[in-house]
Amino acid sequence: MTMFREKTMNAVTMDSDFGREKPVDRSPLEISLGHGTISQPGAAVAAVPAREEKMEKAAVPAELAGTPISERIGTLAREALPPVLGMLILLGIWYVATFKGGSIPGPGKTWDAAAVLFSDPFYRNGPNDQGIGWNVLSSLQRVGIGFGFAALVGIPLGFILGRSPFLSAMVNPIISLLRPVSPLAWLPIGLLVFQKADPAATYTIFICSIWPMIMNTAQGVQRVPQDYLNVARVLNLSEWKVVTKILFPAVLPYMLTGIRLSIGTAWLVIVAAEMLTGGVGIGFWVWDEWNNLKVEHIIIAIFVIGIVGLILEQMLILLAKKLTKESA
C-alpha cells in the first residue's frame, strides 16, 4: 500500500509538472495529494499512465540506456494498434457477412486460394494464362510507359504554360474541357489510331496522367516567389541557369505532387482499361477470373491492386520527402 501510494504521489508530482500550463486540470489531483487519499477517481485515473511508465522503468533498472527502446516499442505499439484493429474489424465484417455461405467467399477460403496463387506467381501457360506476378508487372509496365510519356510532355508543357500568361490563357480552356473526360472515353480513339489493344491502353494512361502534371507544374511555376525571380534578374542569369537553379528547385514540390496524383489516377485507370482491352494485366486478369467465376481470385486481385497502389504512393511520398529535404 505504501509503495502504491508513493508511486501515486510520484505520479501526481510528475503529472503536476506536466500540467503546469493547465492549472484547472491539476487542482483535483493536488487536493487528493493534500488529503493523502488515493481514492479519488480523478487522481487514480490520471495517475495510471504515469505509474505504468514508472513500473516499466523499474523493470529494467540495469540498462538505463535501454529505456528509450522500450518506450519506442510502446509508441510503436500505440501507433500500430488502431490500424491493426481496423483491419481486424474489416476481416470480421467480411467473415460474418460470408459466414452463411453464398456467392462471395469468406476470408478463409480466399486465404487458401491466395496461398496456392502466390506459391507460383510467375508461371506461363500461354498468352492468356499467366501467373499473377506477370499480370501485375505488365500492368505496371503499361503505367510506367504511359506515365513516362505523360511526364516527358506534361512537365515541360507545365513549365511553358507557367512562364507564359498568353499561352496559359490560350491552353487553359482546352485543359478545362478535356480534363473531366473519363480516360476510358479516349480508349476507342486509341484503339482506332493504334489498331492494337496494348498501345491503346498505354495511351489511355498517358491521357489521364498528363493533366495533374501540367496543372501542378504550371501552378508551381506561377508561384515561384518574386524575390527569387528578382535575384535572377539582378544577376542577369541565363535562361538555362534560371530554369536549373531557380525554377526547377522551386517548382519541384509542386511537380512531385502532380506526379503522385498522376500515378494514382493511372493505377486506377489501368485496371478498367485492361478489362476492356484484354491481354496480360491485372485488370484483364480480374475480368478473366470473373468469366471463370473464381470470385476468391477477384477478391485477391482487389487486395493486390490496393497494395500495389499503396506502395506506389508511399514510394513517391518518400521520394518527395527526400528530394525536398535535400533542396530545402
Partner 1 sequence: MEKFVQIEKIGQTFATKKGKFVALRDISLTIKQGEFISLIGHSGCGKSTLLNLIAGLTTPTIGVLLCDGREIAGPGPERAVVFQNHSLLPWLTCFENVYLAVERVFGEKESKQKLKERTAAAINLVGLDHASSKYPNEISGGMKQRVGIARALSMEPKVLLMDEPFGALDALTRAKLQDELMKICQATQATTVMVTHDVDEAVLLSDRIVMMTNGPAATIGEILEVNLPRPRHRLTLAHDPAYIGYRAAVLEFLYEKQAHVEKLAA
**Chain residues that interact with partner 1, rule: CB under 8 A:** 227-228, 230-231, 233-237, 241, 245-246, 249-250, 326-328
Give whichever of 163 and 245 is closer to partner 1, judged by the CB atom. Answer: 245
C-alpha cell at 19: 500540467
Q: Other C-beta atoms within 10 Å of 148: how many? A: 14
User: Longest Cα pair distance anywhere in the chain, in angstroms?
Assistant: 87
Residue pair 305/263 in contact (Cβ under 8 Å)? The answer is no
**Smaller CB separation from partner 1, 167 or 243:** 243
The three three-digit cell numbers of residue 283, written as one number: 485488370
The residues, ordered by sequence, that sit 6+ positions from 165 with a Cβ below 8 Å of its Cβ are none
| Smallest distance from partner 1 to CB 258, Å | 19
- Report the amino acid identity of residue 199: P
Nearest to residue 247, comparing CAs of 228, 260, 265? 228
Q: How far is the CB of 116 from partner 1 (least distance, A)?
A: 51
Task: Output the CA torsion 283→287→290→294 (10° steps).
Answer: -50
- Nearest approach, Cβ of residue 216 and partner 1 (Å): 18
Please state the closest distance from residue 321 (CB atom) to partner 1, in A.
Answer: 15
Residue 169 φ/ψ, nearest 5 degrees: -65, -30
Q: How far is the CB of 211 from partner 1 (least distance, A)?
A: 27
* Angle (deg, nearest 10), helices 282-291 and 248-277: 20
CA 203 distance to own-chain centroid: 25
The residue among 153 and 252 lying less far from partner 1, judged by its C-beta, is 252
Smaller CB separation from partner 1, 253 or 279: 253
DSSP structural state of residue 179: T
Q: How far is the CB of 170 from partner 1 (least distance, A)?
A: 24
Bridge partners of residue 124, in order along the sequence: 130
Give the DSSP H or E segment for 114: helix 107-119
Residue with smaller CB distance to partner 1, 246 or 255: 246
Nearest to 158 by CA among 267, 248, 260, 268: 248
> How big is the CA angle at 180 (ends 273 and 171), to the nearest 5 degrees?
115
Q: Based on CB atoms, which residue is closest to partner 1, 174 or 234? A: 234
Comparison of 124 and 223: residue with beta carbon closer to partner 1: 223
Q: Residue 186: which of 166, 211, 164 has the closest Cα?
A: 211
Contact between 203 and 194 under an 8 Å Cβ cutoff? The reply is yes
User: Is 12 or 246 the residue whose CB approaches partner 1 more closely?
Assistant: 246
Residue 220 beta carbon to partner 1: minimum distance, rounded to whole angstroms: 14
CB of 224 to partner 1, least distance (A): 11
CB of 327 to partner 1, least distance (A): 4
Nearest to 183 by CA among 85, 277, 295: 277
Closer CB to partner 1, 132 or 246, in the complex:
246
